[in-house]
């Protein structure tokens, strides 16, 4: 199950599991944002390569307009996945405390 909402500071709050079956919904939500946006990942338990594709598409679109997607509250498992994918080179990543 995946849930996405806007937080009080305009950030996108994502929770649950971003697997292949949830990608269309996640991409549709992220298409609503522009500029520089934080994605609060504290509740994100799981991401697969299909989910990484959604983040990459969003980052490329935002970068085209001078913005970016910042990933915050990233847990250790997700941090490993981002590092193995080279996403630590193309995203600003803030680990969970």
Partner 1 sequence: MTATLTAARSFPRSFDSLEDIFAFTSEFFGRHGVDRDLLPTVDLVLEELFTNMVKYSPDGAPTIRLEMGPAPDGVEVTLTDYDVDLFDVTEAPDADINLPIEARKPGKLGLHLVRRLVDSLQYEYSTERRESRTTFRKTGARRPA
Residues that bind partner 1 (CB under 8 A): 17, 19-21, 45-50, 52-54, 56-57, 59-60, 63, 77, 80-81, 83-86, 89-90
Q: How far is the CB of 50 from partner 1 (least distance, A)?
A: 7
Q: How far is the CB of 1 from partner 1 (least distance, A)?
A: 9
Q: Can you tell me whether residue 74 is helix, strand or coil?
A: strand
Q: How far is the CB of 21 from partner 1 (least distance, A)?
A: 5
Nearer to partner 1 (CB atom), residue 6 or residue 80: 80
Distance of CA 92 to the CA centre of its chain: 11
Question: Quick one: tokens of 43?
Answer: 């509740």
Q: Can you tell me whether residue 60 is helix, strand or coil?
A: helix
For residue 91, the 8-state DSSP code is: S
């Amino acid at each position: 199950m995946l849930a996405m909402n806007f937080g009080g500071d305009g950030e996108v709050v994502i929770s649950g599991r971003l697997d292949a079956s949830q990608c269309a919904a996640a991409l549709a939500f992220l298409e609503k944002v522009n500029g520089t946006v934080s994605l609060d990942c504290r509740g994100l338990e799981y991401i697969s390569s299909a989910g990484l594709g959604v983040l990459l598409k969003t980052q490329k679109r935002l970068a085209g307009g001078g913005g970016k997607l910042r990933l915050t509250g990233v847990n250790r498992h997700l941090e490993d996945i981002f590092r193995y994918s080279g996403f630590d080179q193309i995203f600003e990543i803030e680990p969970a405390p």
